[in-house]
Amino acid sequence: MTLHHYLILAAVLFCVGLMGAFTRRNAIVVLFSVEIMLNAANLNFIAFWRYSDNPELLHGPMFTLFAIAVAAAEVAVGLALVIAVYRHFKTVDLESMNTLRE
Amino acid sequence: MTTTTLALIPLLPLLAAALTCGLQNGRRAAGVAIAAMLGSCGLALAAFNEAWGMAAGAHKTFNFEWLTVGDTAIPLGFVLDPLNGAMLAMVTFIGLLIFIYSAGYMKDDERMARFFCYLSLFAAGMLGLVLANSLLLLFMCWEIVGVASYLLISFWFHKPEAAAAGKKAFIVTRIGDMGFLIGILLAFKTTGTLTLYDGGQGLLETLPSGMVWGMQASGLISLLLFMGAIGKSGQLPLHVWLPDAMEGPTPVSALIHAATMVAAGVFLVARAIPLFEAGDTLPVVAWVGAITALVAAFIALGQYDLKRILAYSTVSQLGLMMVGLGVAGVSVGMFHLLTHAFFKALLFLGAGSIIHGCHEEQDIRKMGGLAKPMPVTTIAYLCGTLALVAFPFTSGFFSKDEILAGAWATNQPVFWIAAAASLLTAVYMTRQCMYVFPGTHRGAHTPHESPRIMTVPLVILALFALGLGGLAKDSVLAKLPGEAAQHETIVIVVSIAVALGGIALGWLIYRGRALGQAADPLAVTPLVRKLWFDELYAATVGRLWSLAIIIAEQLNELLLRVRDLAVLLADRTGNAFAIGGDRKLIDTLAFDGMCNRLRSAGHAVTRPQNGFLPGYLRLIALGAVALGVLVFWIK
Amino acid sequence: MNEVIAFWILSAIAVLGALVAVRKRNLIHGVFALLVFFAGLSGLFLLLLAEFIAAVQVLVYIGAVGVLLLFAIMLTERVAGDDGRRMTSRGWSWGLVVAAAVFVLLLLSLWPVQQLSMPKAKDPSEFLTQISDPGYDGNSERKRILNSVRTIVNRWSN
């Protein structure tokens, strides 16, 4: 296994997430996709860490831990927003949320 | 006095303005504003005390660096000398009285808190202006004062006249301010500093030399500064805003448009008088002042609005101050400024009390017989009138006498014009008093005396109006630069003669007339129409503007013609070559096609801004890709 | 060899899980697919010897985020999902194009990384054997965890 296997895998996962975020109408699915992208980035961190010269410094896990903590908070806030939006618009369809246009 | 204590004088009202702008409760706002003004007044009196102890012509400077841009430091600063010491004491003292009076006058207004906010802002600007030791700081405060004046004139903005008057005041003074600003820039260009006194390095110490545009630099700069003064002090030809400014609440008229703000122009000339002396432009000041004094006094004869008469009187008196500055220097002009501030504030507050007592009636034809129901106001008002017409041994007499003496010594035509203006002053004030006080009341409501909070300031001001001139004359003339002229007998005779003669003339004209019903012998059409100044401006400036619009419309018309012609030609040509081809070629391809293409291009530009969230997301990612390509590939 | 097999299996799980999660019409199914993706990724973390991160991944993502997502779905959409409406947003093909562009960019950006030859000794399998060597001068606690991790990995790989 080389570093490149992991990096390409992360790229594939990231783009799968990107694709989801770009193509789906449902705000919750877009949140899924964002989570997938974040995890792909975490995978990159860990892979780079493990293949680095001195993995005992634990840089990668540090970053990843931060990213996970922030992502968890982000999911909580994001879902709260989605629910608030749902109460207001009676839908979580992104296409109908265009009030900023006016 | 240190920089901090001096800075506190304008900062206290500024703080009050900041505090009161959020208040809803009018009484609380009045309390805050009056307390700040009281503190400011105490500090100002201390400053005055210190300044008055200085030798004539001495000054103390308190400069500090404001900001540094590159190598250029811009200093600001305060100065303290007898000139602005006296001005400070006057402004804060009259301001305090007017604040107190306003608390009574505005107590039923639901925007009372806002009113005190504006008043405090005005006081802050005015005090900063008086203290400034830098043309830049002076100009900033000058503009603050202008804004406050605008806000206060159009305070009752639901009245269309008030809103229009505010706009007029702002725009007309702006014309003068433009000259002021150009003068400041020119001064900076020629001397490299805007500080007035800076230990021998200041603008007034190293006067600008050399020629600018074929004129002596200091002369040109002083004329440009005078242009600002003309706008602010309502001198001809920019006086038109001041009478309209009477649409504002009466305390505003008293504070801003009689005692303090309009005096700012006079103060500016007094402050910058070394420039005027170096440029030899003081005769210009004297002539402008004299003509203003005469014309405004003339117009005042034909007015029916109580406050408008006083407004024209103010314009006229400001003209006399300019005459004083022009012919005899700072001391004489400033002396009249100080005495005038007291008696004109008194007259305005008295007018406010009368208007209040007559249920917001301002037309003197509907007044009359107020002496009995409003005794305190009447007596105070008569004191102010006597001072204004320069009745012997009131304060106005002493100061006007000095002006006339100076004019006699240096410029006799100006002397006669000023004397004529004084005569007219006595006539119109007598006319006004005849209308208002004796006889029977002609209005619909029963008049009543104003509350104590309004009459007490009147009484205090009346004492000053009578006594200040005689008491302060010698020390003012000694402390301020400029020398008073010898008093020729003829000057004193003329001075007393015009005052008494004017009163007698007014008395003879209006004695026993059926005022309010019969035609007024002095209110002839030219005077009622204010010598057609507004019409003149409408006919010149306004018409020029209309002309520009008409020309633009004609140009537009011409272009339409050309277009029609072009279309006709194209049509003919198309018909000649191939019927139907023209439609395809000219219309579809050229006109409509072009339009359509433009329209679709516009749509293409607006399409990303459609509120479609996934679209935004994609664009962001596209941007990231572009950035990545830039970083990874091109590099 | 075991790690190679484990890597391919886990990455297949992760990619398939992600794909299903973003393409499934039924949101509940989507969430479960997402959980599978998280689990696969956790396995990959273990394979990279980041055992603590793997544990956090399971706790935070599978435990907390998954439940949160389920609740959000319950509170908003009908559980059955998009109920026959169009699933994708307007102009979704453009989204695919942009995603592909990003992918190409990411691959391009890997190019300079390839030029840096990774030291062979840093291959995780060798690293693992190296630090679990009795002569290795590490603390025993860490060695114990790593040994247990190796056991798990080996068990999964087999």
What is the sign of the dihedral through the CA atoms of C79, C27, B620 and A82? positive
Domain encompassing residue A74: 3-96
Helix axes B306-328, B395-410, angle to 10 degrees: 50
Beta-carbon-side half-sphere exposure of residue C67 (alpha carbons within 13 Å): 5
Judge whether residue C116 has pLDDT over 50: no
Number of domains in chain C: 2
Q: Closest to C64 (Cβ–Cβ): which among A11, A60, A72?
A: A72
Q: What is the mean pLDDT of residues B199-228?
A: 79
| Strand-strand pairing, B60-69 and B72-80 | antiparallel
The stretch B491-511 carries a mean pLDDT of 81
Q: Is residue C81 part of a domain?
A: no
* Residues of chain C with C-beta less than 8 angstroms from the C-beta of A52: 122
Closest Cα in chain A, distance from residue C144 (Å):
16
- Provide the residue count of chain A: 102
Rg (C-alpha) for chain C, rounded Å, is 20
User: Does A4 touch chain B if contact means CB atoms closer than 8 Å?
Assistant: no
C115: confidence class by pLDDT, cuts 50, 70, 90? very low
Instruction: Return the DSSP state at B630.
Output: I
Q: Are residues C7 and C69 in the same domain?
A: yes
Q: Confirm whether C116 is domain-assigned.
A: yes
Strand pairing report for B215-216 and B60-69: unpaired
- The distance of C58 to chain A (nearest Cα, Å) reads 11
Beta bridge partners of B62: B78
Does residue C80 fall inside a structural domain? no
The 10s digit of each residue's pLDDT in C19-57 is 999 888 888 888 999 999 999 999 999 888 888 899 999
Q: Within 13 Å of residue B201, how many CA atoms lie on the same side as its CB?
A: 9
Residue A75 located in a structural domain: yes
Average pLDDT over residues B347-368: 81
Q: At what angle do helices B395-410 and B375-388 cross, to 10 degrees?
A: 10
Both ends of chain A: CA-CA distance in Å? 53
A97 touching B (Cβ < 8 Å)? yes
In angstroms, the CA B386 to CA B46 distance is: 31
User: What's the confidence (pLDDT) of residue A12?
Assistant: 94
What would the pLDDT profile of B411-432 be if each residue is shown by its tens digit?
788 888 888 888 888 888 888 8
- Average confidence (pLDDT) over A76-97: 84
Q: Are residues C14 and C55 in the same domain?
A: yes
pLDDT computed for residue C109 by the predictor: 78
Using the Cβ of B372 and the Cβ atoms of chain A, whether some distance falls under 8 Å is answered with no
Q: From C25, C40, C75, give the residue that closes a domain.
A: C75
Residue among B359, B333, B361, B198 at smallest CA distance from B271:
B333
- Residue C86 domain flag: no
Are C22 and A36 in contact (CB < 8 Å)? yes
- Give the mean model confidence (pLDDT) for residues B230-240: 84
Please tell me the predicted confidence (pLDDT) of residue B588.
65
CA-nearest of B147, B141, B106, B109 to B125 is: B141
Q: How many whole angstroms separate alpha carbon B427 and alpha carbon B507?
A: 8
The residue among B215 and A35 whose pLDDT is bigger is: A35
Whether A101 is covered by a domain: the verdict is no
d(CA A35, CA B485): 92
> Would residue A11 count as lying in a domain?
yes
Judge if C64 and C97 occupy the same domain: no
Give the pLDDT band of residue B251 (cuts 50, 70, 90).
confident
Average pLDDT value for residue range B65-73: 75
- Based on the fold, state whether residues C65 and C119 are members of the same structural domain: no
pLDDT digits (tens, 9 = 90+) for B425-475: 888 888 888 888 777 777 777 777 777 777 888 888 888 888 877 777 777
Touching B (3+ Cβ pairs <8 A), the chains are: A, C
Same domain as C61, residue C122: no
CB neighbour list of residue C155: distance below 8 Å, 6 or more residues apart: none
Mean per-residue pLDDT of chain C: 76
> Which of C75, C105, C127 is where one domain is finished?
C75
Q: Is residue A102 part of a domain?
A: no
CATH number at residue A25: 1.10.287.3510
Percent pLDDT > 90 in chain B is: 1
Taking an 8 Å cut-off on Cβ atoms, the answer to whether C89 and A4 are in contact is no
Which amino acid is present at B418? Answer: A
Query: How confident is the model over B12-65, as pLDDT tens digits?
Result: 898 888 888 877 787 888 888 899 999 999 988 888 888 888 777 777 888 787
CATH code of the domain in which C27 resides:
1.20.120.1200
How many other C-beta atoms lie within 10 A of the C-beta of residue C84?
A: 8
Chain A environment of B624 (Cβ under 8 Å): none
ipTM: 0.89
> A52 lies in a domain?
yes
pLDDT of res. C152: 67
Q: At what angle do helices C27-47 and C140-157 cross, to 10 degrees?
A: 120
Helices (H), B480-529: 489-510, 525-528
> Which of the pair, B601 or B404, is modelled with greater confidence?
B404
B68 three-class SS: strand
Residue A54 counted as domain residue: yes
Range of the domain at C128: 92-157
- A68: in domain: yes
Rounded Cα distance between B271 and B84, Å, is 9
Placement of tokens 């109920």 in the chain: C83
Tens digit of pLDDT for each residue in C62-89?
988 988 888 888 888 664 445 556 777 7
H-only helix segments in A1-102: 3-23, 27-50, 59-89
pLDDT of residue A64: 92
Q: Taking CB atoms and an 8 Å cutoff, what residues of chain B touch C105?
A: 625, 628-629, 632
The average pLDDT across B281-296 equals 88
- Which pair of tokens denotes residue A96? 């109908």
Instruction: Retrieve residue B128's tokens.
Output: 């900063």
Check if B613 contacts A (Cβ < 8 Å): yes
Contacts of B618 in chain A (CB under 8 A): 22
C103 and C134 in a single domain? The answer is: yes
Mean pLDDT value across residues C102-127 = 63
Q: Write the pLDDT tens digit of every residue in B513-559.
A: 666 666 666 666 666 666 667 777 766 777 777 777 778 777 777 88
Burial class of residue B131, CB neighbours in 10 A (0-12, 13-18, 19+) = buried
Identify the pLDDT of residue C117. Answer: 42
| C106 pLDDT higher than 50 | yes
| Predicted local confidence at residue C120, as pLDDT | 46
Q: Are residues C6 and C68 in the same domain?
A: yes
Residues B158-178 have a mean pLDDT of 85
Give how many domains chain A has, as a whole number.
1
**Mean pLDDT across chain B, nearest whole number?**
81
Closest Cβ opposite residue B622 in set C92, C98, C112: C98
Extract the runs of DSSP E, i.e. beta strands, from B70-226. 72-80, 211-212, 215-216
3-state DSSP assignment of residue B72? strand
Higher model confidence: residue B328 or residue B129? B129
Question: What percent of chain B stands above pLDDT 70?
Answer: 90
User: Which of C56, C71, C122 faces A65 most closely, judged by CB atoms?
Assistant: C56
Q: Respond yes or no on whether the N-terminal peptide bond of residue B249 is cis (omega within 30° of 0).
A: no
Q: Do A98 and B612 touch (CB under 8 A)?
A: yes
Residue A80: inside a domain, yes or no?
yes
pLDDT at residue number C121: 45
Please tell me the predicted confidence (pLDDT) of residue B531: 65
Question: Residue B634, SS3?
Answer: helix
C13 assigned to some structural domain: yes
Encoded tokens for B211:
């020629």
What confidence tens digit (pLDDT) does each residue in B112-163 have?
A: 888 888 889 999 999 999 888 888 889 989 999 989 888 888 888 888 888 8
B269 versus A101: which is more confidently predicted? Answer: B269
**pLDDT score of B579:** 60
**Contact list, C21 vs chain A (CB under 8 Å):** 20, 32, 36
Single-letter residue type at B581: G
pLDDT of residue C119: 46
List phi, psi (to 5°) of B64: -145, 160
Residue A16: how many CA atoms within 13 Å on its side-chain side?
26
Q: What is the pLDDT of residues A4-61, one digit of tens each?
A: 888 899 999 999 999 998 888 888 888 889 999 999 999 999 988 888 777 777 888 9
Structure confidence at residue B572 as a pLDDT band (50, 70, 90)? confident
DSSP label at B280? T
Torsion of CA B85, B91, B97, B100, to 10 degrees: -120
**Residues of chain C positioned with their CB less than 8 A from the CB of A16:** 15, 18-19, 22
Residue B67 is inside which H or E element, if any? strand B60-69
Burial B137-171 (b: 16+ CB within 10 A, else e): bbbbbbbbbbebbbbbbbbbeeeeebbebbebbbe
